[in-house]
Amino acid sequence: EFWLKTLWSQSIVSWCVFLCSSMQHRHHRVRYGRVTLAGCAVAVAISMRSCDWVQVCLAGAEIPGTFWSRVRSRTSATAARSPTQRFSQHSGFSSGKAPKKKRTYIRTADAAFLTSANQPLLLSPDGIRTASFEFVEKGLGLKVEPAPNFGPDGSSATMATRPDESIGIVPRERLGIMGVRDLYWLDDHRFLITGYEGSSRQTFGWIADLQTKATLISVPSKESSLFLPADSNGLPLQRLTEQGTPEILLGFSTPGPDGLVKREWSWYSAADDDSIDAAEDAELSTDLWREVVLGEFGLIEAILLVNGTVYRRTPEGFRDIGTIALAAAEGWDGVAPSQSVLPRQYLVGVGPDYSVFAIDVLGPKSSPPQAHPPWADLVMSQAEEAKLPADRSSASLAAWTLEQSRKRQTAALVQMTADESIPTPLFAHPFADLTSEGVWVDPQSGLPEAVAVTDVRPHVYALSTQAATLLLSLRQKLPASMQLGGVTLATDNLEPQLVYRHGSRWLVVYWHPTVGVASLPVLVQDGAASWIGNQIIPARGLALDAQVAPLEPRIEAHRLRVGDLDVPLYLVRPKKNPGGVVVLVHEGPHQRDDWGANSFDAWLLSRGYAILKVNYRGSTGFGEQFRTASAGEGFLDDIVAAVRWTLDVFSEGRADGSSAPPVAIMGEYFGGYAVLQALKNHEELFACGIAIAPPQSILSWPNSYIPNAATRKSVEAVRMGSSAPSGGADPAEAILSPLSYAQRLRQVPLLLVEYENDYPEVRGNLFQRLSPSSVPSEWPEALTFVQYAGEDTGGGTIRQNSLDKCRRIDSFLYKHLSPAAFGDGLQRERFQQELAFVSACLVPGAKIRLTEMALNIEQGIEQALRRMDPEQARRLPKAGEVSATREVVTTPPFRITVREDNIIEVTLLFGVEPVGLHVFLSEICLHVRAEGLSFTVALPRAPQHDQKVEVFRFPDGQSYVLEIAADPNVGAIENYNQWASRGGLHILSMLRPEDFAMAPISLPVQ
C-alpha cells in the first residue's frame, strides 16, 4: 500500500535516475531532459526553461514529449486539465497587502516551464505525412502517419492515402545504452536520426528506412563521434545520386593521442552505408571546414574555413573570394569539439557570377546598403534620437544606416564576389545583427528574398517585389484569433519570422508578445498565402506556451542611454499594479533577452511581480561594439541604470508621494554573478538577490566580468603591477571573485543555488566562505543555500528538485518583498515538501505542506518502526498531534554538508528544546519527529549500514549536530536507485529522547 501510494502520487513507474543535457536551438535555449531507469522505469525529466520538446528517456533512449503526455494522461488528473483550467485560482497561497481581487494564479506544479511539451510536427518533404518517435513493446520506434489537413475546409490539399507505418530503432535490450536525440526526413521513406551512447556520450546516427530497417551509420573509429553540418534552417545537407537515393554530408570528430580533435567531412550514402571524403581540393582539407553551401545539383559551391576564408567554386576550381571578419575573429572558438550539430552562421547561399551571400560586418569602404529599416521601425534613446539627420530622405537614411552599422559593427547581409571587390551590402540594420537563419532564400532562384531582424522588437523586411507580396499576404490572411490548447489569442501585430516549406504546405513561425513564437499552417499558392490556419502547431525548436496570455501583461521595449551606449531593456508589467519588481539577468554575457514574455515570466506575473530584463553590454544581437564593449561603464552600470529608470517610471504621477516598489534581482551563471555584484555594490537598491550557479573562481577572468568603471581601473592596475608568471592565477581574482567579498554578502538577503555535478567554477567554494561553520550562532541570518544532488549544468533534471527550487524562490521573494509590497500586493504559494535530493544546504525554518510523496515516506518510517520496535512506535508523537490535517508541519532551520572525511553532517536549530525528539535513519532519508515538528530530508550520500547516527549537543542547548558515516562513492541519486531496486524501507539507526539528553557537548575548534 505504501509503494502504491508513493508511485501513484509521483505519476511515474518506479525507481528513476535523472540525467540532463542542454543545447542551443533557434530563438530559445532548449533543455532536453533524459531519464535513466532501473528495471522498467518510465519517467520524465522536466526543464527549468521553456522546452522546445522534452525528451523522455526509457533507460537511456530519449523520446519526445508526446509520449510522456500520453503516459501522464493515464496516470495524473493534472494532465487532464485544459490550459485554461490550469490558470484557475488555488487556495494554497498567501497575500501581502491582499489585493481586493486575486490575480490569475499559476501553481508551481502546473507551470509550463516545468511540464513536458508536445513533440514537433515534422512534416515530410511534400508536407502530407508526419513522423514521430514512439515507445512500443519491442523498444523505441519511429511512426509515420498522415499530417493534419491544411485548408479552410480541411481538404484543400491531397492527403496521404498510405497507412500508418512504423519501424524499430532501439531494441528494448539496448535501452540504457543508446539514446536518440533528433529526427530528420531525407525522402518519403528514409530518415536520419541522431543519438548518443549512454556512458561515453559519443554521438552517432541511424538511417531508418521504412522499406527495410534502421541501420547504424559507420564511424571512422570506435572513439569517433558524428556531428551534423546543417543549413541555415538547422536541417541536414543532402544530394541525390543518379539512382535517386540520398547522400548526406556528415562530419566525424576523433580525439587524437595529443588531445586534439580531428574533424573530417564525408558524403554518406543512405542506401549502402558507404562514406567518401567530401574534399574535392587537396588544399582544402575538410578538417579546416566550418560551413558549406550546396548548389542546385548537390555540389559544394562554397566553403567557409575556420579562419574565416571563403572559397567559391568556379570553372577553374575553388577560388578564395575574401574573408568573413566575424568568422575570422572567432576562429576555432566558434567550433566546439563536442557539438552534435554544426549550424550555419555566416554563409547564406550562392549567387550569380560565382558570388556568395554571407553575414558579416561592413568595412570602411563599404557602400550604403541597398535595403534597410524605415525610420518608423527604429527604437532608440532620446540622446540618440537627438543626433538624427534633418534630412529624412531614403538616400540620407541609407547613408546614416551605413554609418551606424559600421560604428556599432552590426552584422549585415552582404554579397561577396569572385573578383575580390568590396562586398556589396544588401541589407543592414543600424542597431541590430542579422543572422543566417533570419534570411529567407527563394528555393528556385537561390536569392535572398527577405530578412528577419530581432532588434528590441522583431521585424521582417522584403528584398524583392515578390517577397513583399508574400509578406503582405502572411500578415493580411491571418485569422482574427488563434488557438493554443484551450486558450484564444489575438493575432494583432503578429510578425512572420521563419518559414518551413513543404511544397505548397508551409509552417510559418510568427513572433507573438505573450507566447514568444507561434507556428501556423499556411497554404501558399502563386507566391502568396491563400489560407492561414488558426491552430498553433509545435514546430522544431519552438516552444508552446499559453500561460502568459490570460494574464494580459503589458510588454514595453526601450533603449536607455548609459554612458556612450544605448542599452536595450524590456519591462513586463502585470495587468494590475505590481507589488514588486524582479530583475531577471540573462545567462550571458554572450546571450540576450528577446521581446515578449515566457512561462517563467507568467509564473512571476501571476504573483504580482513586474519583470525587468536588461540586455547589458556584452549581450549578443546588437553589434560587435556592444558585445565587446570593454571601456567606460560595465554591465552592472547598465543594470543599475535600468533599475533606477524603472523605479522612476513607477513613481511618476503618484500624488501620495509613496515610494517605488521593492526590487529583487535574480540570475543564473553569469546572471548569478551579476546578482552578487549588484548586492555588493548597490545593496540599497535591492531587497534581496537570487544567484543560481554563479561563477566563483576562474583561472582567467574575462573583461566582460568587470562590473563597472571603478572596478575596471582596479583590475587594470593590479594586472599591470602583477609579476605572476604566464599561466598562473589571474591577479584580478582578488577583485572579481565573489569569494573576495563573501563577508559583505553575509549581510544581505541571498538565496544561493548550485548543482552538484556542475562545473567546479560554479559550486562549493562560496558557501564555505559564507557559512564555514556548523555552529548555528555563526550562520548568516539572511542566507539560504541549496545544492541539488544529481543535477548537471542548468539543472532541471529531477522534477522534485525543480519544484523545490521554484518554491524556495517563491517563498524567498515573498518574504523579502511583501513587507514593502506596492500596488495590489504580492501572492505566494505555501511551500511544499517535495523530498528533493540535496547534496548540501542551509535553509531557514518554515511551516510547510507535505506532498503525498513526503507523507507516504513518513508513514513508511512509522511502519518500519512498528515492525522493529512496537513499544517505541507507540511512544512516537502521532501524526494527528503534529497537525489536525497533516497538511502543514513545522521544520527547524537546518544545515547539511558532507565533510572531507565522508561524514554527513546535519545540524538542527530549535527555538526551544523539542519534546519527544526522535531521529530515524533509513537507507535513503533522515526523518526527524517531535511534538509539533516533523520533517524528512533525503540523504546526500549512501549511509554505511553498520554505523549508527552520532549526536552532539551545542552549548546553547537548543541545537544538535548529527553525524552519519557515508559511502563516498554512492551519491543521492545512485543511492536511491540502488535502494529502489531492492525495495523495502528499513530503519538503520534511531535516536530516542534519552540519546539527545545524554549527547556530549560539541565545542567549536578555534
For residue 657, the model assigns a pLDDT of: 53
For residue 614, the model assigns a pLDDT of: 97
For residue 24, the model assigns a pLDDT of: 30
For residue 258, the model assigns a pLDDT of: 80
**719 φ, ψ (degrees, to nearest 5):** -75, -40
Dist CA 354 CA 283 (whole Å): 20
Q: What is the mean pLDDT of residues 150-177?
A: 70
Q: Is residue 77 scored above 70 in pLDDT?
A: no
Q: What is the mean pLDDT of residues 671-684?
A: 96
Dist CA 308 CA 322 (whole Å): 8
DSSP 579: S
For residue 104, the model assigns a pLDDT of: 65
Q: Is residue 11 scored above 80 in pLDDT?
A: no
Grid coordinates 545504452 are at which residue?
Answer: 177
For residue 755, the model assigns a pLDDT of: 96
Q: Enter the C-alpha cell of residue 562.
A: 548609459
Q: Is the model more confident about 341 or about 46?
A: 341
For residue 5, the model assigns a pLDDT of: 35
Q: Is the model more confident about 304 or about 930?
A: 304
Mean pLDDT, the chain, rounded, equals 83
Q: Is the model more confident about 496 or about 59?
A: 496
pLDDT band at 56 (very low <50, low <70, confident <90, very high): very low
Q: Is the peptide bond before 589 cis (omega within 30 degrees of 0)?
A: yes
Spatial contact of 679 and 704, defined as CB atoms under 8 Å apart: no
Grid coordinates 513526503 are at which residue?
Answer: 854
Q: Is the model more confident about 824 or about 460?
A: 460
pLDDT band at 117 (very low <50, low <70, confident <90, very high): low
pLDDT band at 26 (very low <50, low <70, confident <90, very high): very low
Q: Is residue 19 scored above 70 in pLDDT?
A: no
The H or E element containing residue 801 is helix 799-817
For residue 919, the model assigns a pLDDT of: 93
Rg over alpha carbons for the chain, rounded to the nearest Å, is: 30
pLDDT band at 198 (very low <50, low <70, confident <90, very high): low
Give the DSSP letter string of 845-907.
Answer: -EEEEEPHHHHHHHHHHHHHHHHH-HHHHHHSPPHHHH-SSSSEEEE--EEEEE-TTSEEEEE
pLDDT band at 154 (very low <50, low <70, confident <90, very high): low
Dist CA 461 CA 369 (whole Å): 13
CB neighbours of residue 508 within 10 Å: 23
Positive or negative, the CA dihedral 554, 559, 562, 565 is: positive
For residue 39, the model assigns a pLDDT of: 27
Q: Is residue 706 scored above 60 in pLDDT?
A: yes
- One-letter amino acid of 218: S
Grid coordinates 543594470 are at which residue?
Answer: 639
For residue 153, the model assigns a pLDDT of: 66
- What angle (nearest 5°) sits at the alpha carbon of residue 329, between those of residues 323 and 331? 90
Task: Identify which of 15-19, 625-629, 852-856, 939-943 has the greatest average pLDDT.
Answer: 939-943
Q: What percent of the chain has pLDDT over 70?
A: 85
Kindly report, residue by residue over 435-466, the tens digit of the pLDDT.
Answer: 999 999 998 889 999 999 999 999 999 999 99
Q: What is the mean pLDDT of residues 709-717?
A: 89
For residue 52, the model assigns a pLDDT of: 28
Q: Of 288-297, 856-865, 878-887, which gets the smallest average pLDDT?
A: 878-887
> What are the CB-based long-range contacts (under 8 Å, 24+) for 151-156?
151/523, 151/531, 152/531, 156/523, 156/531
Distances (CA, A) of 62 to 136, 169, 792, 883, 973: 13, 11, 17, 43, 19
Q: Is residue 60 scored above 50 in pLDDT?
A: no
Q: Is residue 812 scored above 50 in pLDDT?
A: yes
Angle between helices 852-868 and 2-10 in degrees, nearest 10: 160
- One-letter amino acid of 712: R
Q: Is residue 888 scored above 80 in pLDDT?
A: no
Give the DSSP letter string of 748-791.
Answer: S-EEEEEETTS-GGGSSHHHHHH-----GGGS-TTEEEEEETT-
For residue 881, the model assigns a pLDDT of: 44
Q: Is residue 163 scored above 50 in pLDDT?
A: yes
Q: Is residue 652 scored above 90 in pLDDT?
A: no
Dist CA 964 CA 658 (whole Å): 53
Outline where DSSP puts E strands in 485-619. Answer: 487-490, 495-502, 505-512, 516-525, 528-532, 554-562, 565-573, 580-585, 609-614
**β-bridge pairing 838-843 and 783-788:** antiparallel
DSSP 92: S
Q: What is the mean pLDDT of residues 481-486?
A: 85
- SS3 (DSSP) at 294: strand
For residue 121, the model assigns a pLDDT of: 83
Q: Is residue 758 scored above 70 in pLDDT?
A: yes
Kindly report, residue by residue over 585-595, the tens digit of the pLDDT.
Answer: 999 888 999 99
Q: Is residue 983 scored above 60 in pLDDT?
A: yes
CB neighbours of residue 588 within 10 Å: 23
Kindly report, residue by residue over 906-944, the tens digit of the pLDDT.
Answer: 999 988 888 889 999 999 999 998 887 888 899 999 999
The H or E element containing residue 123 is strand 122-123
